[in-house]
Amino acid sequence: MRYATRMDCLEDKSLLSVMEIQETDDMILFTGGFPSPETYPLEEITDAFIKTLEREGKAALSYCSTSGHKPLREVIRHRMKRIFDLDYNLDEVIITSGSQQGLDMSAMLFINKGDVVLFETPSYLGAVSALRAHEAQLVAIPTDRQGLELNALKQALDQYGDKVKMIYVNPDFQNPTGRSWSEQRRIEFMEMISQYDVAVLEDAAYSELAYDNKPQKPLSYYDKKGQVVYIGTFSKTFCPGLRVAWLCARGEMMQKYLVLKNAADLSSSAIAQMQMAYYLTHYDLDAHIAKISRLYKHRRDVMAKAIKENFPEEIQFVLPAGGLFIWLELPVDYDTRKLLPIAMENKVAFVPGTAFYPNASRSNEMRLNFSNMKDEDLVKGIRILANVTKRFMKER
């Protein structure tokens, strides 16, 4: 069989294999990128489902409109206004099947084979897959503790010129480092890119999971020219199983997204959308998020303490102020891809840092998820991982 050339760009199956592990294995998994299942409001979701079928009847089991269930889009719109001071009209908000679909559609909307995407690095490997699947050339833009490095960004914008179609960023408690951009950096970034004809894909998956301060204003808030595509999701704040996420874009751009959504899967599940709308209007998602934030903050602290107590001093990390991950840095000459199989023999798994670099330029880091586990497993897993890491570092 003769396949499309895009398949040559998709060799890295790291995320795929991580997903496949989860269903089958019994080890301590620091690999996840999701909220803790024990927090899922099972009773409320069941109630929302039953009420939805009672109220909406058969409509809930039919096709939905391509743009998505209107009342859900309304609630999301008002919620974004209230929490982030974002102003979107109803027809500037559509529902997607997980935010991954928003990434995929964005790649489709902007990318011809070989076009350049400037990619916040390290960053979400699902975005790497989505962009590579459309044969984007990913150019890594490094970050410092304030956010994307603007000098590097400007250099790349000027170097690649018209080939640059999109900038992918994940400004809040980003995956994998847990870091957030400063307000100043956001403002400067938006000022800089407003000089260029380029779209910004703002992945806001973790934005509401703020443990130490209030959520910050999204890039979209500072967007005067309609360059920002904002992608939000309930997968991290509620549960990923319903696959309900949303995408916001301005004017004619949204019309084009609709055409692509239709080509991709006609529409997202009607019942899942109606259920979510019911939950949002009859229950209190804010209270739910406050509750899980307390829990995750506690787990973050437990993991951080265990790391400090068990890992050698030269292994570094920055305590994240939100999100689901701690990003652990080994000395530069160690490759965590080689550590992973040894850790897995000892029943602990993590995601090697390389997966988050589009060009695998660094390999001494690992991503550890802390949201998904009881204290004793967190501590046990970190102890095992620390021991394995120490041996690994000695033996090399």
Contact 84/221 with Cβ under 8 angstroms? yes
Q: Shortest approach of a second copy to residue 329 CB, angstroms? A: 27
**Residue closer to a second copy, measured from CB, 100 or 216:** 100
Report, in Å, the least distance between residue 36 CB and a second copy: 9
**How far apart are CB 246 and a second copy at their closest, in Å?**
14
Cβ closest to a second copy, residue 231 vs residue 307: 231
Q: Using an 8 Å Cβ cutoff, are 318 and 381 in contact?
A: no
Residue with Cβ nearer a second copy (108 or 148): 108
Sign of CA dihedral 328, 369, 94, 289: negative
**38 vs 183 by CB, closer to a second copy:** 38
> Is 359:21 a contact under the CB 8 Å cutoff?
no
CB nearer to a second copy: pick between 50 and 319:
50
- The H-or-E segment that residue 96 falls in is strand 93-97
DSSP-derived secondary structure letter, 101: H
Residue 1 CB, shortest distance to a second copy, in Å, is: 6
By beta-carbon proximity to a second copy, the closer residue of 67 and 170 is 67
Min dist CB 282 to a second copy, Å, is 17
Alpha helices in the chain (DSSP H): 14-24, 42-56, 70-84, 98-110, 125-132, 150-160, 183-193, 251-265, 270-282, 285-310, 336-345, 375-395
18 three-class SS: helix
Own/partner contacts of 248-256, CB < 8 Å, gap of 24 or more, are: 248/80, 248/86, 248/88, 248/92, 248/93, 248/220, 249/92, 250/92, 250/226, 251/92, 251/226, 253/109, 253/199, 253/226, 253/229, 254/91, 254/92, 254/94, 256/109
- The candidate with the shortest Cα–Cα distance to 193, out of 169, 177, 217, is 169
Residue appearing with tokens 């996420």: 245
CB closer to a second copy out of 111 and 343: 111
Looking at the Cβ atoms of 6 and 305, the one nearer to a second copy is 6
Is the Cβ of residue 1 or residue 314 nearer to a second copy in the bound state?
A: 1
Minimum separation from the CB atom of position 280 to a second copy (A): 16
- Shortest Å distance, C-beta 347 to a second copy: 20
155 CB neighbour count, 10 Å cutoff: 12
- The structure tokens 């959308």 sit at 273
Question: What tokens appear for 242 in the block?
Answer: 């319903």
Which CB sits closer to a second copy, 48 or 366? 48
Residue 256 C-beta: closest distance to a second copy, Å: 6
- What is the nearest approach in angstroms of a second copy to the Cβ of residue 383? 26
Contact in structure between 323 and 292 (CB atoms under 8 Å): no
Please state the closest distance from residue 318 (CB atom) to a second copy, in A. 27
Sheet holding 325-329, edge to edge: 325-329, 365-369, 351-352
